[in-house]
Structure 1
Amino acid sequence: MNLNTSCVKPKRPLSDTVLIYMILSFISLLTAALNLLVIISISHFKQLHTPTNSLILSLAVSDFFVGFLLLFQIMFIDGCWYIGDLMCVVYYGLDYIITSSTVGMMVLISIDRYVAICDPLHYSIRVTQKRVQVCVCLCWICSLLCFIVLLKDNLKQPGQYNSCVGECVIISIIHERVADVILTFILPITVIVVLYMRVFLVAVSQARAMRSHIVTVTVQGSRKVTAKKSEVKAARTLGVVVGVFIICFCPYCCVSLADQETLLSVSSVAFVLCLFYFNSCLNPLIYASFYPWFRKCIILIVTLQILKSGSSDTNIL
C-alpha cells in the first residue's frame, strides 16, 4: 500500500467552498443551540419530568452531538482528513452510535405513544420514569457494543485501509452492512410504522367518540376528555417527528448499503449525509411548532429567568 501520495482534492470554485462552509457551519451551530434548549428545558423544569419527555430528552442529546459531527463533516469537505487515523475511527464511531441510538429512541417513542393511546388505563403502571431511563441506557449501550463488533478491525489498526495520506476510510464487509441495515433500519422502521398505524386508528376513533359525547360530559368527564386530547396531540406531534426522521433516514441507509465508489458520486453521498444530519435540526423546530410549553421554556431560558430561585417549579403547562 502506497501512502506517499496525498489525497485528491475535488476541484470547485472558492466561492462554492466558502458557501458550503458557511451553510454547514450555520446548520451545525443551529442544531447544537436548538437541541441545547430542549435539553435545558426538560432537565430544569420539574413539570416536564415525564417518561415521554425523558425520551425526547435522550433524542435531543443525540441531536445535540450531531451538531458536533457536522464539524467533522466540514473538515472533510475538501476531500482530505487532517486530524489523524484514530480520529477518523472516532468520527465514524460517534456517527454510528448516535445514529443507532436515535433509531432506538424513535422505537421507544412509538412504543410509548402506543401504550398511551391504545392502553391508557395501564400507561402509568407500564411506562414509568425508571423503566424509561433503563431503556434509554440500554439503547446507548447496545449502540456502543454494535459499533465495537462491526468496526473491530478498524479499531485494531486505524488507517489500515487508506490508500494515500489524508484519507479517512472505514471498511466493513457486505454481510455486516446488510445485518446492520436490517437491525438498525428495516426492523425498527417496521415496528414504528405498525405501531403508529395502530395509534392513528385508535386516535381517530377516540376523536370521534369525544365529539359525539362532548355535550353530555360532566366536569370530571371533561377532564378525561382533555387528557385524551393531550395524549392524541402528543402522538400527532411525535408522529411528525418520526415521519420526518424516516424521510431523512431512508436515503442514508441506502447509501450505507451501496458501493459508494462505483454507484454514487461524492456530492450525492455528501447530500444524503447532510440531509440526515439536518433532521436533528428540524426536531426542535417541530417541538416549537406544536408544543406551547417549549416556546414558553425558550422565553424563560433566553431571558435568564431560569437562574432565579425556584424557577424549576414554574408552571409552564
Structure 2
Amino acid sequence: VNVTQKYARPHSEAMLIYVTLSSISLLTVSLNLLVIISISHFRQLHTPTNLLLLSLAVSDFLVGLIVIPFQILLTEPCWFLGDMVCILYFFVPYITVNASVVNMVLISVDRYVAICDPLHYSTKITQKRARISVLLCWVYCVFYSFMILYDNLKLPGRYNSCFGECVIIIMGAVDLVLGFVVPISAIIILYVRVFVVAVSQARSMRSHIAAVKLQRSVTVTVKKSELKAARTLGVVVAVFLMCYCPPYCVALSGYDLTIGTSTNDFLVFLLLSNSCLNPMIYAFIYAWFRKSVKLIVTLKILQPNSSEASVL
C-alpha cells in the first residue's frame, strides 16, 4: 500500500475535507464517550454484553480522538512530522480499527449464544470470560499491527521517493485475510444464523398465539417485532459491509491508492465513519442508553450513589 501526498488541493476542496473530518471526529468522540461513561458508571450495566460494547466504544473513541485528526494532516500536500512519526502514526489506526472489527466479532458471538442457546447463555458467557476476551482482543490487535508494519520500523522513510512523503509498505495478503476475510466471514455467518433463529422463534410464537386464539392485535405485534428484528440485523450487517468492503475490494483489485485522490478520500471517509455509526447502531437502540445519557447530560451522575440509579 503506497501512502503518499504530493497533490495540492484547491482551497474550497481542502476546507470541505477539514470541516467534514473535524465534524466526524467530534461526533465520534462525543457519542462513544457517552457510551463509555454510561457503561462504566452505572452498576446495572455491568454485564458481559455491555463489556463488549464498552471495548468497542473505546476503540471507536480512539479512532475519533487520534486517527481522524492525523488523517486531516495526511490531506496536506506534504508530511512534515518526520519519518518515525509517519510509521508510528499508522500503528494507531491499525490497532484501533482492527480492535473495532474484532470487538464486533465478539459481539456477534455473544448474540449468537444469547439467541441460539439461551438456556446456557449465563454459564457460557460470564463476566470473567468477557474480560479475558476483551484483553485478548487488544493484545491480538497490537501484535497484528507490529506484524504488518514491522518491516517499516527497520529503517523509517526507506520507501520514500522524496522529502515530505509518508510511505509505508504492508503485507497486503496477510492484511486482507486476517483483517477482512476472516472477521467479515465470521460476522456474516453468525448474524445469518441469528437472523434465521430469531425469525423461526417469532413464527413459532405467532403460531402458538394463533392456536390459543388470542386477540388479532397480539399477532400483529409479534409480526412487527419480527420485522423490527430483521431490520435491525439488516442495518447492522449492511452498514458494516458498506464501510469496510469498498477499501478492501479496491485493494484486492490491485488499484494503487495514493492519498490526495478523491477515491482514497471517499474510502477513508467510509472506513472512519463506521466508528461514528457504531454507537448509534449498537447503543442508541437500547433504552438504557437514552436514560443514562439523560442522567449524564443533566449532571445527575455527580450525585452520591448515582451509580446505583436504575437505567433499565
The two structures have a TM-score, normalised by structure 2, of 0.87
- Correspondence 1:53-202 to 2 at 5 A: 53-67=50-64, 68-172=66-170, 176-202=171-197
RMSD over aligned Cα atoms: 2.7
Alpha carbons of structure 1 residues 264 and 166: separation in structure 2 relative to 1, 3 Å: closer
Secondary structure of 2:311's counterpart equals: coil
Alpha carbons of structure 1 residues 257 and 93: separation in structure 2 relative to 1, 3 Å: farther
Q: Give the letter for the 1:280 counterpart.
A: S
Shift in Å, 1:199: 0.8
Secondary structure of 1:163's counterpart equals: coil
Look up the match of 1:221. Answer: none
Look up the match of 2:215. Answer: none
Q: Is structure 2 residue 265 aligned with structure 1 residue 267?
A: no
**Structure 2 CA distance for aligned equivalents of residues 287 and 114 of structure 1:** 15
Instruction: After superposing the two structures, state which structure 1 stretch, 120-129 or 238-247, moved more.
Output: 238-247
Shift in Å, 1:252: 2.0
Alpha carbons of structure 1 residues 101 and 197: separation in structure 2 relative to 1, 3 Å: same
Secondary structure of 2:167's counterpart equals: coil
Q: Is the 8 A contact 1:113 1:235 kept in 2?
A: no
Look up the match of 2:238. Answer: 243
Shift in Å, 1:259: 4.5
Shift in Å, 1:57: 0.7
Shift in Å, 1:51: 0.9
More RCO (CA 8 Å, sep 6+)? 2
Q: Is structure 2 residue 7 aligned with structure 1 residue 10?
A: yes
Look up the match of 1:52. Answer: 49
Shift in Å, 1:112: 0.7
**Structure 1 CA distance for aligned equivalents of residues 144 and 284 of structure 2:** 35
Decide which of 278, 285, 288 is 1:293's aligned counterpart: 288
Shift in Å, 1:287: 4.2
Decide which of 264, 282, 288 is 2:277's aligned counterpart: 282
Q: Is the 8 A contact 1:287 1:294 kept in 2?
A: no
Shift in Å, 1:238: 6.4
CA offsets, 1:48-86, max 9 Å, x none?
Answer: 111111111111111111112110010111232121211
Q: Is the 8 A contact 2:195 2:233 kept in 1?
A: no
Q: Give me the identity figure in percent.
A: 57
**Structure 1 CA distance for aligned equivalents of residues 145 and 230 of structure 2:** 31
**Structure 2 CA distance for aligned equivalents of residues 110 and 285 of structure 1:** 17
**Structure 2 CA distance for aligned equivalents of residues 8 and 55 of structure 1:** 37
Q: Is the 8 A contact 1:306 1:312 kept in 2?
A: yes
Shift in Å, 1:23: 1.4
Paired residue total? 298
- The runs of at least 4 aligned residues of structure 1 exceeding 4 Å deviation read 232-239, 262-265
Instruction: After superposing the two structures, state which structure 1 stretch, 259-268 or 121-130, moved more.
Output: 259-268
Instruction: After superposing the two structures, state which structure 1 stretch, 257-266 or 241-250, moved more.
Output: 257-266
Segments of 5+ residues of structure 1 without an aligned counterpart are 1-6, 217-225
**Structure 1 CA distance for aligned equivalents of residues 53 and 157 of structure 2:** 36
Secondary structure of 1:38's counterpart equals: helix
Alpha carbons of structure 1 residues 131 and 235: separation in structure 2 relative to 1, 3 Å: farther
Q: Is the 8 A contact 1:300 1:306 kept in 2?
A: yes
Q: Is the 8 A contact 2:52 2:106 kept in 1?
A: yes
Q: Give the letter for the 1:86 counterpart.
A: M
Q: Is structure 2 residue 19 aligned with structure 1 residue 22?
A: yes
Q: Is the 8 A contact 1:45 1:314 kept in 2?
A: yes
- Correspondence 1:187-226 to 2 at 5 A: 187-214=182-209
Secondary structure of 1:70's counterpart equals: helix
Q: Give the letter for the 2:270 counterpart.
A: L
Q: Is the 8 A contact 2:188 2:237 kept in 1?
A: no
Look up the match of 1:32. Answer: 29
Q: Is the 8 A contact 1:62 1:101 kept in 2?
A: yes
Segments of 5+ residues of structure 2 without an aligned counterpart are 213-221
Q: Give the letter for the 1:69 counterpart.
A: V
Alpha carbons of structure 1 residues 166 and 195: separation in structure 2 relative to 1, 3 Å: same
